[in-house]
Amino acid sequence: MATWMSDSQKIGAGLTGFGALFLLLGMLLFMDGGLLAIGNVLFIGGVTMLIGLTKTVAFFARRNKLRGSICFFSGVLMVFLGWPVIGIVVEAFGFINLFGDFFPVVVAFLRRVPVIGPVLSAPGVTHVVDRLAGTRFPV
């Protein structure tokens, strides 16, 4: 079976997923600084391996993404320095500014997943999800 991802990209996707999992666990366990720090390192390393170093630097250095990049990395630094609550809030603001353009694509993909798709396409849920993700079209 042919695949379009190289081995390092597969590792990057796994690291990004584990980073998101550790960030979620860190938030669920009342802002555990250790889990949040590990999640940040795994997420940033995974994104770098997934799209490559030069594209990662180009993405974070874009002029229209500069505010999001500064907030995101400032939040990561705050988590490392021991201020997990303030750091995760600043980091979340930066994350939304950086990756907010991808939310409609993610929602469109999730609507095609067997179990999640019908839930996201339910009449009451569709309006809320479309408003939050910034999509204005039914899929």
Q: What is the pLDDT of residue 102?
A: 87
Asked whether residue 62 carries a pLDDT value surpassing 50, the answer given is yes
Chain-wide mean pLDDT for the chain?
90
- The residue extents of the domains of the chain are 7-95
Least-confidence region, from 20-29, 87-96, 102-111:
102-111
Per-residue confidence at 135, pLDDT binned at 50, 70, 90? low
How far apart, in whole angstroms, are the C-alpha atoms of residue 17 and residue 43? 7
